[in-house]
């Protein structure tokens, strides 16, 4: 617009509105930067583990709760240790007395899927040991089952750390 077509008293300075396109560019740069940070965070923390048949497992969750209630009613507690390549398990009942029986299970590397079978031997009343030749240090999960007297059993899931 020329100065002759401007209404009287209006000052038009084209430099005053030059920042408006840069405000849009800046907003998009911020949005892209935030998205890149979120993509990096999601890709660097994904373990790669998924649950097979997740719908069916979700529908059977009441069975999981019933099993947890059954184990709570037993009152048995297990303490799992891993020292020097020896996995030790001590099981006591509600009164603190040792629980006898037979124990079986494996050590599992959670992210790799490496599984080591364990051969347990009784090391005293309510105490069991198994020698575990671990191929690598780090976190392992002990998945054990103690078969007590009768049909009683205790499922043990405990994370242990090997140095």
Q: Is the pTM of the predicted complex or chain greater than 0.85?
A: no
Q: Are residues 83 and 140 in the same domain?
A: yes
Residue 146: Cβ within 10 Å count? 24
The whole-number average pLDDT for the span 123-143 is: 91
For residue 98, give the CATH number of its domain.
2.60.40.1220
Structure tokens given for 60: 């059977």
Q: Are residues 81 and 156 in the same domain?
A: yes
Report the distance separating Cα 2 and Cα 60, nearest Å.
77
Residue 107 in any domain: the answer is yes
Q: What's the pLDDT tens digit per position in 66-86? A: 999 998 998 999 999 999 889
Q: What's the pLDDT tens digit per position in 26-58? A: 999 999 999 999 999 998 888 776 777 888 888
> Which domain covers residue 35, as residue numbers?
18-43
Structure tokens given for 16: 């005053």
Q: What's the pLDDT tens digit per position in 78-124? A: 999 999 889 999 999 999 999 999 999 999 988 787 899 999 999 99
Residue 68 in any domain: the answer is no
């Amino acid at each position: 617009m020329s100065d002759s077509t401007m209404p009287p008293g209006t000052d038009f300075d084209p430099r005053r509105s030059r920042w408006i396109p840069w405000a849009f560019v800046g907003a998009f740069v911020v949005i892209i930067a935030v998205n890149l940070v979120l993509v990096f965070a999601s890709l660097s923390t994904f373990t790669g583990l998924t649950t097979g048949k997740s719908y069916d497992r979700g529908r059977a969750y009441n069975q999981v709760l019933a099993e947890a209630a059954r184990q709570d009613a037993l009152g048995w507690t297990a303490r799992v240790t891993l020292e020097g390549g020896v996995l030790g398990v001590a099981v006591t009942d509600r009164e603190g007395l040792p629980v006898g029986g037979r124990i079986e299970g494996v050590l599992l590397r959670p992210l790799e899927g490496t599984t080591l079978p364990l051969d347990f031997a009784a090391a005293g009343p309510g105490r069991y040991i198994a020698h575990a030749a671990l191929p690598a240090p780090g976190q392992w999960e002990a998945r054990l089952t103690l078969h007590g007297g009768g049909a009683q059993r205790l499922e043990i899931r405990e994370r242990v750390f090997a140095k």
